[in-house]
Amino acid sequence: MNNNLQLIYPTLDIFLYDLGDGLGQSETKINENRLRFWQKIYPRLTQEELQPFAEVEGLATDSVELLQKKHGIEPFESPCDGYYYPVKLGDTYALQIDCSGEQKANPQISQPLEVIKTLDKVVLEHRHNPCTIGESWVLWGKLPTEQQDAEQTAEKCSHYLSLFADFQWDKDKDLKGSGEFAGATFYELWRLPSDRSPILDNRHLVICLFHSHTDITKIQQLYPHFRHLFQFRNKIIWAYQQSRQLKSDMKQAAQVIHRIVSDLPQQVTADSLNLKLLQKYLADTLTILSTYATYLSRLEEQQHTINSNLKNYQRRLKTFAKLDPENGDRLLNCFEPFADYALEKYQPQLESDIASLSAGLRLLENAIKTIEGIIQLEQTKSDRALSETVAIATVGLGLSAITATVVSTQQPPRGDRFFMVTPPFLWSIGILSPFILWLLLRLYRPLQGGKKGILPHPEGTPPSPPLLRGGVGFDVGDVRNSEKDALKNDIND
């Protein structure tokens, strides 16, 4: 490889993205996000000094420059030639960190590619906090002559960047696309994080080499498109990584759900049912249902984020291509591979995950209905026994009152007469005897015609569990096994 390769005005830009105000976040959390973002530029900034920045953010909802009083940028300290350029794009913070070497350097003189090491070091020193959504790097410059090979130069440039030094310059490896556009040659390289890797493992590099006869001020026309295009790209990857963590959490919850469903037959067929224990079992299951449903809803939110940002990515790419209509297709060839990957990998995976993990929700709902049916049956039995006990007590009190009334209306008996042969006592026996007979028959009558008495009877057994829900039935074994097979097959993918 030629060691004498050079570039005119080599420049390194990083586009970093952070979540500003996520769905459902509190004002406190939003302020924490704001502070974290601004500390990338002003490391010593405190929460009390955020108010002016918050006021600027409220000026627009789509795109707003956040340093309007400073012409949009915060320059680096001397002697570095660089700046910060923060903007707010909807609910997302975007920060561009730009470095072109030293201020005294002549921008018209070509420099050896080794200077890229210095640019890399300066930019990393000015990136104070890691981003929460993702980042994209752009290295650009101008070829000094038409004879200098663009691809060879680009490959050499990537090796001087610490984050991309191990990238393999091969189209079936890390080099995903290339194309001629707007008087420059573009190369896109990326390496996506694995499902269990942090978002910082997402690495994305675009190298833009202008031809020797091209005016490099054209880069100013490209920056806005880079900023939006990279925002959509990084949000797609971020949402997918979020979905992987949610899926992992839901797989653990699915194991708990299967244990609940497996234990349910024992609860249904137990000889002695503890109502308080069943109520606690129901409360625990409802808590798990709420958590699982929340996770499933968040998974659907990530699916929506991926779908909407993928559409925005494709629309922005078409708008970008209009800058050079003659070579628009070449630009698409450079940046479309990511859209194709997201369409083929991310969207089907989320659809499959949501379909399979929804089975766990249905299992829980069926289990809860069964437990509620058992509890209602036990409560009905308890209420019936209580009502009959109250009825007996009421009859007894009523008879006592009648007896007392009869006795109170009679003249005291003669002292030589035994009280059991007095008229009031005989009258009370006559009045009470029908009720006493009814109670004896009610208490000791055997179960006839499917009805049982107040006292327990060996033949008075409750209905079997499959009929607890009005005859519909709940065959736990069949439901659990069929749902478990479907859930297990997809979760293990």
> Where are any strands of DSSP class E within 43-174?
63-65, 74-75, 80-89, 92-102, 110-112, 134-142
- Which amino acid is it at 477? G
- Which amino acid is it at 283? A
The token pair at 227 is 């900023």
Is pTM beyond 0.85? Reply is no
Q: Residues 316-355: pLDDT tens digits?
A: 999 999 999 988 889 888 999 999 999 999 999 999 999 9
Of the pLDDT bands very low, low, confident and very high (cuts 50, 70, 90), residue 136 is: very high
Asked whether residue 127 carries a pLDDT value surpassing 70, the answer given is yes
The DSSP line for 346-389 is IHHHHHHHHHHHHHHHHHHHHHHHHHHHHHHHHHHHHHHHHHHH
The token pair at 197 is 């890797």
Averaged over 21-30, what is the pLDDT?
86
- 143 torsion bin: left (phi>0), alpha (psi -120 to 50), beta (else): beta
- DSSP-assigned letter for residue 99: E
Q: Mean pLDDT lowest for which of 50-64, 252-266, 424-438?
A: 424-438
Task: Tell me the range of 196-200, 347-351, 362-366, 390-394 where mean pLDDT is highest.
Answer: 347-351
Of the pLDDT bands very low, low, confident and very high (cuts 50, 70, 90), residue 271 is: low
Domain spans in the chain, listed from the N-terminal domain onward: 6-214, 218-382
Residue 230 near residue 204 (C-beta atoms within 8 A): yes
Question: 74 - beta bridge partners?
Answer: 84
Asked whether residue 274 carries a pLDDT value surpassing 80, the answer given is no
Query: 95: helix, coil or strand?
Result: strand
Q: Residues 180-195: pLDDT tens digits?
A: 999 999 999 999 998 8
Query: 431: helix, coil or strand?
Result: helix
The token pair at 12 is 């390194």
Averaged over 52-74, what is the pLDDT?
81
Contacts of 439 (CB under 8 A, 6+ apart): 392, 395
Average pLDDT, the chain: 81
